[in-house]
């Protein structure tokens, strides 16, 4: 008597599909974790390098205009951008041009590549230093000073703008890792300080339950 063979085809396909889906999900989660950790290290080095410059200029609290943790798309991946400004009471005591010249020398001594300073026409008094330190993930650093004149009742206004090097990875995927629920839920940046010193502990996104994650 011939025995009927059991039909394993359909159940086997279902099991295989489940295994493949599980493997793909695990792989995607691992890739997302790797992207986050790599981006976190880049952000940490980028901000610490810029903070060294801030500390050399002024070790008090700077105004935070762009925190620098939200990745922007660039040619081959993502990049960070941050801006800081000195407080209203900050002053070089009318020694701004000399201090900027000293700062340029300090940057060169500390491994920065300094570009020729731009020149402006009459009526524009800004003094700008442009530099970069790609090995520390800083593609461009602009230090912009508008010197104050006590006799005219004006004060020094100094701002730092920094852009990181372009890093491999998808900016949108990274934002989702930084701010769970995005883009359905807008990124909650209520934890971002209005002011911070160069030594203030920094944050890098939120946990699943909405708590700030230390950088």
The dihedral sign for the CA sequence 116, 112, 86, 163: positive
- pLDDT for 29 equals 58
Q: In this structure, is residue 2 part of a structural domain?
A: no
- Give the side-chain half-sphere CA count within 13 A for 105: 6
Q: In this structure, is residue 10 part of a structural domain?
A: no
- pLDDT for 17 equals 44
Q: In this structure, is residue 83 part of a structural domain?
A: yes
7 forms beta bridges with none
Q: In this structure, is residue 91 part of a structural domain?
A: yes
Q: In this structure, is residue 15 part of a structural domain?
A: no
pLDDT tens across the length of the chain (215 residues): 444 444 445 555 545 444 444 444 445 556 768 999 999 999 999 999 999 999 999 999 999 999 999 999 999 899 999 999 999 989 999 899 999 999 999 999 999 999 998 877 777 789 999 999 999 999 999 999 999 887 777 789 999 999 999 999 999 999 999 999 998 888 899 999 999 999 999 999 999 999 999 99
Q: In this structure, is residue 23 part of a structural domain?
A: no
Q: In this structure, is residue 13 part of a structural domain?
A: no
Q: In this structure, is residue 174 part of a structural domain?
A: yes
How many independent structural domains does the chain possess? 1
- pLDDT for 153 equals 74
Range of the structural domain that residue 37 is part of? 31-214
- Give the side-chain half-sphere CA count within 13 A for 88: 1
- The CA R_g of the chain, rounded to the nearest whole Å, is 25
> At 60, which CATH number?
3.30.2030
Could you give the C-alpha distances from 64 to 22, 81, 83, in angstroms and in order?
43, 12, 7
């Amino acid at each position: 008597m011939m025995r009927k063979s059991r039909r394993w085809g359909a159940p086997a396909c279902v099991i295989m599909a489940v295994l493949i889906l599980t493997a793909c999900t695990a792989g995607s989660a691992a890739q997302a974790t790797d992207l986050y950790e790599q981006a976190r290290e880049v952000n940490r080095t980028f901000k610490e390098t810029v903070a060294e410059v801030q500390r050399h200029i002024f070790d008090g609290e700077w105004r935070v205009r762009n925190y620098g943790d939200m990745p922007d798309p660039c040619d081959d991946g993502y990049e960070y951008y941050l801006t800081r400004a000195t407080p209203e009471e900050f002053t070089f005591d009318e020694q701004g041009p000399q201090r900027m010249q000293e700062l340029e020398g300090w940057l060169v001594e500390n491994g920065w590549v300094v570009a020729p300073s731009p020149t402006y026409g009459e009526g524009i008094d800004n003094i700008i230093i442009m530099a970069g330190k790609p090995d520390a993930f800083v593609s461009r650093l602009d230090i912009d000073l508008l010197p104050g004149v006590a006799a005219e009742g004006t004060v020094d206004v100094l701002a730092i703008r920094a852009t990181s090097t372009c890093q491999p990875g998808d900016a949108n995927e990274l934002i989702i890792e930084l701010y769970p629920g995005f883009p359905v839920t807008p990124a909650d940046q209520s934890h971002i300080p209005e002011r911070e010193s160069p030594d203030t502990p920094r944050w890098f996104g939120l946990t699943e339950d909405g708590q700030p994650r230390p950088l």
